[in-house]
Structure 1
């Protein structure tokens, strides 16, 4: 059973895929991941994202709220969800661009155009979209403000956790009937019950400082290596991303 990792007021569930949040992780050093974005609705964090241009945030397509998408608040430069931090910059979205082939499972990626350009500072920076080789065994990191206890308890401070990349064959074998496509990449924590969970959707998989993936879905129990975490593989969508932000 899979869980799509979302959402704002309620958790999106599709095909049994539920949420995403960091479990078994640690507090990130404040502002050490300056590309992180918090997608919020009515003051509540729902999804993560990453700043790829001063006026564009990349996230997961399943984070889209069709009826209210232009009223989403995007917060950059934050460590705490609740504290007043002078480093924070807040925007609304003027356009959401989900991948045209998103089908509720595959191609789970979306761009959000911000109401204005972010001011790049020590706490707000772009993340590189250079191509990353994701061979099995590679060590990467994911981060987010999602559920930290698999019990709908959002993190107040940004969390991060180490991720080990799995081979496609291993991931497909563990997921069984759930299709794992070539545009996805799978990873697990170093220990049992480590990984992302509800509220981490749309956040980044980062390898050597570059964006390699976007948090997409996981199993019914967060961090369970029997159903490895699945990310949208950014190398499969790099041309689409660059085309959209350069033509919009």
Structure 2
């Protein structure tokens, strides 16, 4: 009887531990003021980050024909926080060479400039290539249990980047190019999931990657999470911003 109770208690504790961005945690309120949620009719579609007052960086596979609503300054998807700012998208600009996996990056021009506050801030682009085993963070409102359960509050998880060769060996079904970077959590089943697409890989306070794709099971180390490597697209990003 005592053994059964202990097993039941362990099951409950393990289940509770897995109810965040797949093995992550609640982000402290407004600790990620660059985060944007891309919504369609009030439902989460993707994440993104604010690069300039009128531009959000996200993934090209988030491109849809239905108009987006971009929400800044909110920790909760459903709450009506006084810090929240809501925008329409004037223009979406996916990378011209996006092919379904490679070059998975897109810029969204907002219908007006955001007002920078404590809860709404810009994030810089990472400079240079990431070091192997960089300690980073990814964040989003996506599936928290790999079961179509969207997070209400912003979640985050620690990520360690992997050597390119290691990622290629694990991902034999998809070509891993130099414009991609892979990362894993500290344990299995820890990482991003559905709805986190377009969100950032943040390393040393700068956006170094954009959430692109993962394997059939979220956070599984057999198929590491794959991000678009931002440093490979600095020239394209800068060109788009300068021309707009």
Given the two structures, how large is their TM-score scaled by the length of structure 2? 0.91
SS of corresponding position for 2:226: strand
Mapped pair 1:105 → 2:101: yes
Question: Alpha-carbon deviations, 1:74-125, whole Å to 9, x = none?
Answer: 0000101111100000000010000000011100000000000000000000
1:29 equivalent in structure 2: 28
Q: Tell me, which stretches of 5 or more residues in structure 2 are unaligned?
A: 1-19
Q: Please state how far the C-alpha of 1:177 moved relative to its aligned partner.
A: 3.0
Q: Please state how far the C-alpha of 1:29 moved relative to its aligned partner.
A: 0.3
Q: Is the 8 A contact 1:107 1:232 kept in 2?
A: yes
1:147 equivalent in structure 2: 143
Number of residue pairs aligned between Structure 1 and Structure 2: 225
Question: Alpha-carbon deviations, 1:39-95, whole Å to 9, x = none?
Answer: 000000110000000000000000000x22xx2100000101111100000000010
- Give me the whole-angstrom Cα distance separating, in 2, the residues matched to 1:202 and 1:90: 18
1:92 equivalent in structure 2: 88
- Greater relative contact order structure (CA < 8 Å, 6+ sep): 1
SS of corresponding position for 1:245: helix
- Give me the whole-angstrom Cα distance separating, in 2, the residues matched to 1:161 and 1:170: 21
Provide runs of 4+ in structure 1 moved above 3 Å.
none
Q: Is the 8 A contact 2:126 2:203 kept in 1?
A: no
Mapped pair 1:174 → 2:170: yes
- Give me the whole-angstrom Cα distance separating, in 1, the residues matched to 2:208 and 2:80: 31
1:39 equivalent in structure 2: 38
- Give me the whole-angstrom Cα distance separating, in 1, the residues matched to 2:132 and 2:170: 15
Mapped pair 1:56 → 2:52: no
SS of corresponding position for 1:119: coil
Structure of higher CA gyration radius: 2
Q: Please state how far the C-alpha of 1:132 moved relative to its aligned partner.
A: 4.6
- Give me the whole-angstrom Cα distance separating, in 1, the residues matched to 2:47 and 2:40: 12
- Give me the whole-angstrom Cα distance separating, in 2, the residues matched to 1:159 and 1:130: 22
- Give me the whole-angstrom Cα distance separating, in 2, the residues matched to 1:176 and 1:130: 28
Q: Please state how far the C-alpha of 1:133 moved relative to its aligned partner.
A: 3.6
Which structure carries more helix by proportion? 2
Q: Is the 8 A contact 1:132 1:207 kept in 2?
A: no
1:11 equivalent in structure 2: none
Q: Please state how far the C-alpha of 1:22 moved relative to its aligned partner.
A: 2.3
Mapped pair 1:238 → 2:234: yes
Q: Is the 8 A contact 2:47 2:195 kept in 1?
A: yes
1:73 equivalent in structure 2: 69
Given the two structures, how large is their TM-score scaled by the length of structure 1? 0.89
- Give me the whole-angstrom Cα distance separating, in 1, the residues matched to 2:128 and 2:32: 18
SS of corresponding position for 1:172: helix
SS of corresponding position for 1:219: coil
- Give me the whole-angstrom Cα distance separating, in 2, the residues matched to 1:198 and 1:177: 20
Aligned-residue CA RMSD (Å): 1.0
- Give me the whole-angstrom Cα distance separating, in 2, the residues matched to 1:108 and 1:133: 17
Which residue, 222, 227, 232 being the options, matches 1:226? 222
* Alignment CA distance shift 1:132-1:156 (3 Å): farther
